Amino acid sequence: MICNQRALLHAAPIADMQTEKIRENGVSYGLTEAGYDVRIKQQVNLNSGERFVLASTVERFQMPSTLVGVVHDKSTWARRGLSVFNTVIEPGWNGWLTLELTHHGHGTLYIPAGVGIAQVLFHYLEWPADYGDGKYQNQENAPVGPITT
């Protein structure tokens, strides 16, 4: 079952959640009907020669043990050839989310800092769980590359 609107505000998986949908630069962010649209922290320019980049969210996550989040594309960006990898945000995980972005289109795609970049849907768990001391726990406020140890 998806956790949305009032239930999502009560669960508070994101610190300082924007309680309504805001539209800036033609793209929305904040609380939606079925989830939450997160913003990109860094300005990104993806051109034909460079189609992949890591970025991070403006929002800091503080996932309760009863929810799991799944990152999805926003249709506004998908229609321009951008894919956001469908990352899973584990229950009990805390930190700023690193996003993996791929541009499948031609030419340059400009993404200004602070715009909505992806939608997160939050699902209830049947039993509480905890990410614990996983290698990406308390992720810093910047894009984090792969940790292989």
59 is catalytic: no
Residue 147 binned pLDDT confidence (cut-offs 50, 70, 90): very high
Q: Please, what is the Cα angle at 113 between 34 and 48, to 5 degrees?
A: 100
Model confidence over 46-80: pLDDT tens digits?
986 779 999 999 999 999 999 999 999 999 999 99
**Residue from 24, 33, 100, 126 carrying the catalytic annotation:** 100
Domains of the chain: 2-124 (2.70.40.10)
Q: Enumerate residues 6+ apart whose C-beta is below 8 A from 97.
A: 38, 56, 57, 59, 61, 71, 87, 89, 139
Model confidence over 93-115: pLDDT tens digits?
999 999 999 999 888 999 999 99
Element housing 91 (H / E): none
Supply the pTM of this predicted model: 0.94
